[in-house]
């Protein structure tokens, strides 16, 4: 995707001009079903289920009518709390057809986080499984609801007669759903504060999917293996919406990531594209029987969601036959992708940068001090503007105004350098977000939970480098006077209360924290100490795009 306009002296570029679709997700599904009705839309390998595009469209209409029969109307919120399954995609399409906003709930959430999401989102219905190998969702929901007055009127379990009855209900379809309506509310730790509901419209994600599909050169002949979670934009936009725009097939290998199931799905389905965060590719290539899987059908794919080590990228290109593998960059607030390398780009661009501005998207690098656009080659904050920028944080105009300025530029909180060709090299983050295997973790959220432990007096949470996951969570804890605690005790307190990936991997008990003369905690010094103490210098300095 060549840049049509690039001011080489300043760190500003605009992606190519391309027509924007004025379609809802439901409109797009109708169009794709009409064009490719008999072709495979989704295969759920672990469930042994398959739907064509015509069948998926019919199922979406059934769900939409069922939602109407429950009293769900245009603009109401409907929660979906599940790992990857065919029901997830059917619900996504069905909510879109009904004009409801789908609230994506992380399956790793436990009672503390679920309670927050239920209250904040004001969802009227929640769809989920009763339990799986990882959790008893019915029990967690019961604890989260205890003592609360909620908007939640309906709880529908996929493994109950109510799910079948809902799809057989004789409801109606809304007369009008607008492309500007909110389609998805994605809870993210975001760039500041506690988790926020990112409101993404049909216009946001339909068009991001359109431009992603073009970058991958997808057609209806392609099939995409999705081991990434559907509740993330990686799954439900980069995966589902790029397929919906082209008629490519979606292949779900398992409920959650499993390296062997992922390679088997590629092998069995003769898939042409594979997605994953770096840690997933590492796990797949580490399998002892890796060579027994025929991956020669692969053509393209994406490695994203965390910093991508250059050497790993090179191995995937060669050993997994993903010669057109690309790297993309963005965040939930940008629907999510704003820069991407192209399948036809040189190896140099694809392994050392996150590509250039997507179509109909502006990118600039600005000074953290003055806010002015910097010359190319200078480090500053990455900002984005265009159709992909979210509608805002749900119920949080102040939080929205902090990241989307009056001129329309969204400040990502990420640091980067723009080269003269418009390509971006990410160099770090200006805000305190930890990215563990593709999961965003805001330290303040973990700190505020740990403060509820009766023995904790003060706590500081940072991310430290990890070769497999990119970063992991470390906590420095000062205990209340006269008490003692162990790492196991603190971690045990977290179990079942916060998501597993937020639980500190390392806990260090300290008497004080590094601070400035004015008393401000210097978290970078905590991180530097941990890198030195744990011998992580080589991991910290590993080259990434």
**Final residue of a domain: which of 156, 178, 200?**
178
**Final residue of a domain: which of 130, 148, 178?**
178
Q: Is residue 153 part of a domain?
A: yes
19 Cβ contact partners less than 8 Å away, ≥ 6 residues apart:
none
What does the pLDDT read at residue 121? 96
What does the pLDDT read at residue 86? 98
Q: Specify the pairing of strand 49-52 against strand 273-276.
A: unpaired
Q: Is residue 449 part of a domain?
A: yes
302 and 275 Cβ atoms separated by less than 8 Å? yes
Q: Using CA atoms, how far apart are residues 292 and 267, in angstroms rounded to an integer?
A: 9
Kindly tell me the sign of the dihedral angle through the C-alpha atoms of 461, 189, 226, 307: negative
**Local confidence pLDDT in tens for the 545 residues of the chain:** 444 444 458 999 999 999 999 999 999 999 999 999 999 999 999 999 999 999 999 999 999 999 999 999 999 999 999 999 999 999 999 999 999 999 999 999 999 999 999 999 999 999 999 999 999 999 999 999 988 888 999 999 999 999 999 999 988 888 899 999 999 999 986 444 568 999 999 999 999 999 999 999 999 999 999 999 999 999 999 999 999 999 999 999 999 999 999 999 999 999 999 999 887 898 899 899 999 999 999 999 999 877 677 778 888 999 999 999 999 999 999 999 999 998 788 888 887 899 999 999 999 999 988 899 999 999 899 999 999 999 999 999 999 999 999 999 999 999 899 999 999 998 777 667 788 988 888 787 888 789 899 999 888 999 999 998 999 999 999 898 899 999 999 999 999 999 999 999 999 999 988 875 545 678 888 999 999 999 999 988 876 76
Q: Using CA atoms, how far apart are residues 474 and 462, in angstroms rounded to an integer?
A: 5
Residue 536 belongs to a domain with what CATH number?
3.30.300.30
Q: Is residue 302 part of a domain?
A: no
Q: Is residue 168 part of a domain?
A: yes
Q: Using CA atoms, how far apart are residues 407 and 373, in angstroms rounded to an integer?
A: 13
For 234-264, the DSSP string reads IIIIIIHHHHHTTTPEEEE--SS--HHHHHH
Domain that includes residue 105, residue range: 26-39+50-178
CB 113: neighbour CB atoms within 10 A?
Answer: 22
94 and 183 Cβ atoms separated by less than 8 Å? no
Domain count, the chain: 2
Q: Is residue 402 part of a domain?
A: no
Q: Using CA atoms, how far apart are residues 435 and 19, in angstroms rounded to an integer?
A: 34
What does the pLDDT read at residue 293? 98
Q: Is residue 228 part of a domain?
A: no
334 preceded by cis ω (within 30°)?
Answer: no
Q: Is residue 497 part of a domain?
A: yes
Q: Is residue 382 part of a domain?
A: no
**Final residue of a domain: which of 162, 178, 194?**
178
């Amino acid at each position: 995707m060549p840049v049509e306009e690039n001011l080489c002296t300043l760190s500003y570029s605009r992606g190519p001009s391309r027509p924007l679709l004025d379609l809802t997700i439901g409109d797009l599904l109708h169009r794709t079903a009409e064009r490719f009705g008999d072709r495979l839309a989704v295969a759920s390998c672990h469930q042994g289920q398959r739907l064509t595009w015509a069948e998926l469209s019919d199922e979406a209409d059934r769900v939409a009518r069922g939602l109407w029969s429950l009293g769900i109307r245009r603009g109401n919120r409907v929660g979906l709390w599940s790992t990857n399954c065919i029901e997830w995609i059917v619900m996504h399409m069905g909510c879109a057809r009904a004009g409801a906003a789908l609230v994506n709930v992380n399956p790793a959430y436990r009672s503390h986080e679920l309670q927050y999401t239920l209250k904040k989102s004001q969802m009227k219905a929640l769809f989920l499984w009763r339990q799986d190998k990882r959790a008893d969702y019915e029990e967690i929901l019961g604890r989260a609801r205890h003592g609360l007055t909620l908007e939640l009127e309906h709880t529908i379990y996929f493994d109950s007669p109510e799910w079948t009855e809902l799809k057989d209900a004789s409801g109606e379809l809304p007369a009008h759903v607008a492309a500007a309506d909110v389609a998805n509310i994605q809870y993210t730790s975001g760039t500041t504060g506690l988790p926020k509901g990112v409101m993404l419209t049909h216009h946001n994600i339909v068009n991001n999917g359109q431009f992603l599909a073009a970058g991958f050169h997808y057609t209806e002949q392609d099939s995409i293996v999705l081991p990434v979670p559907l509740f993330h934009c990686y799954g439900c936009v980069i995966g589902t919406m790029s397929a919906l725009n082209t008629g490519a097939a979606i292949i779900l290998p398992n409920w959650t990531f499993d390296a062997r199931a992922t390679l088997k799905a590629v092998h069995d389905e003769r898939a042409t594209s594979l997605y994953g965060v770096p840690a997933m590719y590492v796990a797949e290539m580490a399998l002892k029987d890796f060579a027994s899987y025929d991956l020669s059908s692969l053509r393209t794919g994406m490695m994203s969601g965390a910093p991508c080590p250059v050497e790993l990228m090179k191995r995937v290109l060669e050993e997994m036959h993903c010669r057109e593998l690309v790297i993309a960059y963005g965040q939930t607030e940008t629907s999510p992708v704003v820069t991407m390398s192209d399948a036809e780009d040189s190896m140099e661009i694809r392994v050392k940068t996150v590509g250039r501005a997507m179509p109909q998207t502006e990118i600039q690098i600005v000074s953290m001090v003055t806010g002015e656009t910097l010359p190319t080659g200078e480090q500053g904050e990455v900002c984005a503007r265009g159709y992909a920028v979210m509608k805002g944080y749900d119920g949080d105009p102040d939080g929205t105004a902090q990241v989307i300025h009056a001129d329309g530029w969204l400040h990502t909180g990420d640091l980067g350098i723009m080269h003269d060709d418009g390509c971006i090299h990410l160099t770090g983050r200006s805000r305190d977000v930890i990215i563990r295997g593709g999961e965003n973790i805001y330290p303040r959220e973990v700190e505020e939970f740990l403060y509820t432990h009766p023995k904790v007096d003060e706590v500081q949470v940072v991310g430290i480098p990890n070769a497999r996951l990119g970063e992991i969570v470390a906590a420095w804890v000062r205990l209340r006077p006269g008490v003692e605690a162990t790492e196991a005790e603190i971690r045990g307190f977290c179990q079942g209360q916060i998501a597993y990936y937020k639980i500190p991997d390392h806990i260090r008990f300290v008497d004080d924290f590094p601070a400035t003369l004015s008393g401000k905690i210097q978290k970078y010094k905590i991180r530097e100490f941990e890198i030195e103490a744990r011998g992580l210098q080589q991991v910290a300095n590993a080259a990434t795009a």
